[in-house]
């Protein structure tokens, strides 16, 4: 019960901000033009800065945690490839493939992940190393999938994207640029001075509330009905099936305690809020993505609590 209440305390504020977005647009405080501008600000400025700072400021001892880092890296790759192949094969509406794949794989450690680790162990434990091993891959592969799956039409026909166009779009993507700069700073062991770090963090931190307000403002109940089945299926995969597939493997390989919690966060955290803005700005099905974000955030309080209860019962935490 304690973990469930803690999970609610982590997720309910998210819904309050989403509801606030709907209220703001109803009252005329914001409009669709505002949400479009805020989405661009989040995508082109805030998200790249957050990724850059998160990666640049992680201090890890690679030699002491090679097994854990390699596991997180390989599992992230496996999840993306498996879900991309399955989505392309079984999702009937091919315009949904990008958002379905991203929504069912890419999670957000910010909502439940890091707070849960702090609540259980009093520190972030192995979460920073999980972030370093998986989050850049999550974002990079999301960019690749959304670029390839983009709904770009010309004269009513979907335009063919050649390899050169795809690579150019990926290299120019602001999230990829943020990741690369972050890695460069991290590998060169550069300590960013507070005069640089503080304003960058402040601007980056504006991204999540902007995205949540925009999501709420654009959210329509009719959209849920039209995409309920794919959104529900992606949510089931994200919160239940992926942890069910890979947690036993992690246990078999000897991961316990903080390491296992970090892996659970990687696998079973709700879909990343940034996925909504990415899908919208990269011409994919952002409505499906918003539904997946809402459903996974709603039900993650229950699933996360059950996963922790199960792992504690087996003396694995």
Mean pLDDT of 168-181: 85
SS3 237: helix
**Does 28 score more than 80 pLDDT?**
yes
Burial (CB < 10 A; 0-12, 13-18, 19+), residue 57, is: middle
- Asked whether residue 154 carries a pLDDT value surpassing 50, the answer given is no
Using a 10 angstrom Cβ sphere, with 0-12 exposed, 13-18 middle and 19 or more buried, the burial of residue 305 is buried
Q: Identify which of 301, 293, 271, 279 has the alpha carbon closest to the alpha carbon of residue 219.
A: 293
Quote the tokens at residue 286.
């952002």
How do residues 89-135 score in pLDDT, each as one tens digit?
998 888 899 999 999 999 887 666 666 666 666 655 677 778 777 87
The helix/strand/coil state of 117 is helix
Find, among 237, 243, 286, the residue nearest to 113 by Cα. 243
> Can you tell me the distance from the alpha carbon of 106 to that of 139, in angstroms, rounded to the nearest whole number?
8
- Cross-strand pairs, 107: 271
Q: Count of residues for the chain?
A: 317
For the chain, helix, strand, coil in percent to 5 are 80, 0, 20
Answer yes or no: is pLDDT of 152 > 90.
Answer: no
3-25: average pLDDT: 83
Quote the pLDDT of residue 295: 92
Kindly state the average pLDDT of the residues 186-211: 91
Give the pLDDT confidence of 200-248 residue by residue, as tens digits.
Answer: 999 998 988 998 899 899 888 777 778 899 999 999 999 999 999 999 9
Encoding tokens for residue 166? Answer: 């795809």
Encoded tokens for 27: 């009252």
53's tokens:
């700072």
What average pLDDT does the segment 288-297 reach?
A: 92
Check: CB of residue 38 under 8 Å from CB of residue 210: yes
CATH number belonging to domain 2-313: 1.20.1530.20
The gap between the terminal CA atoms of the chain, to the nearest Å, is 17
Question: 47-56 and 274-281 are packed helices; what angle lies between their axes, rounded to 10 degrees?
Answer: 130
- How do the domains of the chain map onto residue ranges? 2-313
């Amino acid at each position: 019960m304690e973990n469930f209440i803690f999970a609610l305390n982590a997720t309910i504020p998210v819904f309050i901000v989403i509801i606030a977005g709907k209220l703001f647009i109803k009252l005329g405080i914001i409009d669709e033009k505002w949400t479009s501008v805020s989405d661009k600000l989040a995508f082109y400025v805030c998200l790249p800065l957050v990724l850059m700072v998160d990666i640049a400021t992680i201090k890890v001892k690679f030699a002491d945690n090679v097994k854990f880092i390699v596991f997180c890296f390989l599992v992230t790759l496996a999840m993306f490839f498996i879900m991309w192949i399955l989505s392309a094969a079984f999702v009937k509406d091919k315009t949904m493939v990008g958002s379905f794949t991203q929504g069912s794989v890419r999670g957000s450690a910010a909502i439940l992940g890091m707070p849960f680790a702090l609540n259980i162990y009093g520190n972030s434990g192995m979460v920073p190393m999980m972030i370093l091993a998986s989050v850049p891959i999550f974002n990079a592969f999301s960019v690749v999938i959304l670029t390839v799956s983009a709904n770009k039409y010309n004269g009513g026909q979907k335009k063919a994207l050649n390899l050169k166009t795809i690579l150019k779009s990926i290299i120019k993507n602001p999230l990829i640029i943020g990741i690369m700069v972050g890695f460069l700073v991290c590998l060169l062991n550069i300590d960013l001075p507070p005069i640089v770090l503080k304003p960058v963090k402040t601007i980056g931190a504006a991204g999540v509330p902007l995205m949540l307000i925009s999501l709420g403002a654009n959210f329509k109940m009719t959209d849920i009905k039209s995409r309920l089945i794919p959104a529900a299926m992606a949510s089931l995969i994200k919160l239940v099936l992926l942890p069910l597939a890979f947690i036993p493997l992690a246990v078999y390989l000897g991961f316990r305690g903080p390491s296992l919690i970090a892996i659970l966060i990687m696998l079973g955290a709700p879909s990343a809020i940034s996925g909504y803005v990415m899908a919208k700005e990269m011409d994919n099905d952002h409505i499906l993505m918003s539904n997946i974000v809402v459903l996974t955030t709603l039900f993650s309080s229950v699933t996360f609590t059950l996963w922790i209860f199960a792992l504690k019962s087996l003396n694995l935490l």
